[in-house]
Structure 1
Amino acid sequence: MERRGSGRIIRMSLNRPTRWAIALVLIALAVAISYQWLDRPIAYFAHAHFHNEPLFTRLTLIPEFFAPLAVLAFLVLGLRALVEKPLTRLEAVTLLCALSLVVASAIKNQLKLVFGRTWPETWVRDNPSLIRDGAYGFHPFHGGAGFESFPSGHTTAVVAVVSVLWICYPRFRVLYALFVAVVVIGLIGADFHFLSDCIAGAFLGASTGWVVVTLWESGGRVPVSTERMSR
């Protein structure tokens, strides 16, 4: 009990930007460790044991449905707002999921250009890859589809949505974690991404969801997070 209490006091004593900065440092460390010691062995293992395994590829298709659903949610809820009908909590959460996805995807696209990482396998336009060419590393601002492995867009998308739900409906967090794990396992098993790509994508998605919810509630709108509703 004392440990829980002390941990809660420490979290309360740190403001939100400080906690995010600490998390960023820890994620950067995790990415560095994965890049140096884990990414290549995992990619070689996946290629040797799961190459062309359709199950892993199917698992990666889950986030593909998010973008059209986000557009649909934005249109429907936007029309509702135009006729001056207030959003319910569920509708507000749905809108925030859509906004988080859109913002995270836009940031992800810019980060892919900034980092310019090659892919585990050769997929597009004869791209250089670890498996075929032994190509491994970052090439900042290189540009081109062959240098867009980092961060993982699929992981970013799924966590951008799940992070909003994580904050607003915490009772289902086990299911959210399993949902993310399924997508990440598919990406790594199919050799679509390195582990560190997924780590970075998860942090980006989680950060976006958290910021979107915080901005929404700071404007005095209908509360969506359990923390704000309990006040």
Structure 2
Amino acid sequence: MRLLILFLVTLASIVISYYYIDVNVVFYIESHQINKYYILKKLSETPNLIIPILVFFVILSPFLFKKYMNHKIFQMFFSATFSVLMAAQIKDFLKYIFGRYWADTWINNNPSLIVNNVYGFQFFQKASSSFPSGHTTVTFAFCTVCILYYPKLKYLFILPMLAVCIGQIGMHYHFVSDVIAGAFLGYVVSKFLTYYLTSMQFKKLLALKYK
């Protein structure tokens, strides 16, 4: 029931943002040159800190597995790695389905609101892929897992979640509704996958360790 309510609230937020907020925010940022602030670019690059950490974990995990698989932090990174990978795959699939025009032009002269005055969706068009925000998806997937394992530190992990949202919107990388969708996707995927891994997979891994 909670997930259904969250989905409906997210869906309503996306629709409202699409019709009444997205365009206004983009032109407000453009008119005030807010996207010129260097700090916003750094905030938008939050996943650039997350991905190397997970890659480092993947490289080391075969050597750490037997000794540390019972440790909470190992299990957290294990869940976070799979959550980010799965969320990223779903994100890429959704981008292809929706084919949304970008707020600004960034890659291969992609059509955008600011440069070409186009707004909306071109379904199943890979060249247009603003929805949902991939950076937001990855950040929320990783940080949600961290919060699930260390709830007392939740405010520490909420900071990068807020940072990536502000950065992605402030730099014209994404519309507000793109970020909302990416946040929802990362959160839901990581929460479901983490619960599955903690309830099922680690029990199997534990049994395998002591065979």
1:212 to 176, 193, 196: 193
Structure 2 match to 1:160: 141
Structure 2 match to 1:197: 178
Distance in 1, matches of 2:124 and 2:4, equals 24
- Report if aligned partners of 2:99, 2:130 keep a CA contact under 8 Å in 1: yes
- Report if aligned partners of 2:42, 2:167 keep a CA contact under 8 Å in 1: yes
Distance in 2, matches of 1:220 and 1:39, equals 41
1:164-183 mapped onto 2 (5 Å cutoff) = 164-183=145-164
Measured after TM superposition, the shift of residue 79 of structure 1 is 2.9
Worse overlay, 125-134 or 27-36: 125-134
Measured after TM superposition, the shift of residue 106 of structure 1 is 1.0
Measured after TM superposition, the shift of residue 68 of structure 1 is 2.6
3-state secondary structure, aligned to 1:155: helix
Spell out, residue by residue over 1:44-95, the C-alpha distance to the aligned partner (whole angstroms, 9 max, x if none).
11112214332211211221232232122122123323xx335111111111
- Corresponding residue pairs, total: 201
Structure 1 match to 2:67: 85
2:121 to 129, 134, 138: 138
Which segments of structure 1 move beyond 3 Å, counting only runs of 4 or more? none
- Report if aligned partners of 2:72, 2:149 keep a CA contact under 8 Å in 1: no
Structure 2 match to 1:69: 53
Spell out, residue by residue over 1:106-162, the C-alpha distance to the aligned partner (whole angstroms, 9 max, x if none).
111111001100100111111111112211001110112xx1110001100110011
3-state secondary structure, aligned to 2:104: coil
Distance in 2, matches of 1:138 and 1:113, equals 10
Distance in 2, matches of 1:205 and 1:156, equals 4
Distance in 1, matches of 2:147 and 2:112, equals 35
Distance in 1, matches of 2:49 and 2:162, equals 17
TM-score by length of 2: 0.89
Distance in 2, matches of 1:90 and 1:191, equals 35
Letter in structure 1 aligned against 2:58: F
- Is 1:44 the equivalent of 2:44? no
Cα 1:102–1:138 change in 2 (3 A) is same
Distance in 1, matches of 2:198 and 2:53, equals 23
Distance in 2, matches of 1:213 and 1:201, equals 18
Distance in 1, matches of 2:92 and 2:135, equals 12
Percent identity, aligned pairs only? 32
3-state secondary structure, aligned to 1:120: coil
Structure 1 match to 2:168: 187
Letter in structure 1 aligned against 2:54: A
- Report if aligned partners of 2:68, 2:74 keep a CA contact under 8 Å in 1: no
Structure 2 match to 1:6: none
- Report if aligned partners of 1:70, 1:101 keep a CA contact under 8 Å in 2: no
3-state secondary structure, aligned to 1:151: coil
Letter in structure 1 aligned against 2:67: K
Structure 1 stretches lacking a partner, 5+ long: 1-17, 223-231
TM-score by length of 1: 0.82
Structure 2 stretches lacking a partner, 5+ long: 204-211
Distance in 1, matches of 2:12 and 2:93, equals 21
Letter in structure 1 aligned against 2:183: A
Distance in 1, matches of 2:201 and 2:111, equals 50
